[in-house]
Amino acid sequence: MSNVPSGLRYTADHEYLKPSGQAGVYLVGITDYAQGELGDIVFLDLPKPGAKFAAHATFGTIEAVKAVSDLYCPVAGEVIEVNARLEGEPAVVNGDAYGDGWMIKLKVASEADVAALMDDKAYIAHLGGK
């Protein structure tokens, strides 16, 4: 079974939002399930700080040995920071998806949109208990 921490919000596209400790700001990354399905991650194309995205808009791409996939913004917001470590070490996402493998810090447009995402129990059900 994939690692699905409580206290985060999840999307059907396998992205997560994790509270950053700053009001209205969340860390965004892909779930443990997603990184496992992709395999070894070799490259990430992430946006610059200041970029704004609508909910479900593509904010970047992730390249693994198996495939290249789009990354989708879980909710509308503005990128305030990008995880610079991933530029040189994209495989950090494989080893620590919910920790050092976060991709962007997002200042969300609406906390209500965050609350509408799946919690850990709903995400596990979405995965079919995987």
pLDDT tens-digit map of 42-85:
999 999 999 999 999 999 999 998 889 999 999 999 999 999 99
Global pTM reads 0.95
Which residue in the block uniquely carries the two structure tokens 């050092």? 100
Identify whether the C-beta of residue 77 lies closer than 8 Å to the C-beta of residue 109.
Answer: yes
- For the chain, where are the alpha helices, taking DSSP H only? 32-38, 85-88, 92-95, 111-115, 120-126
CA 110 to chain centroid, in Å, comes to: 17
Q: How many CB atoms lie within 10 A of CB 26?
A: 25
Label residue 95 by pLDDT band (50, 70, 90). Answer: very high
Q: Is 34 left (phi over 0), alpha (psi -120 to 50) or beta?
A: alpha
Q: Which domains does the chain have, with CATH numbers?
A: 9-125 (2.40.50.100)
All residues at 6 or more sequence positions from 55 whose CB lies less than 8 Å from its CB, including other chains: 73, 74, 75, 76, 113
Model pLDDT, residue 66: 82
> Rounded mean pLDDT of the chain?
95
All residues at 6 or more sequence positions from 119 whose CB lies less than 8 Å from its CB, including other chains: 6, 8, 9, 10
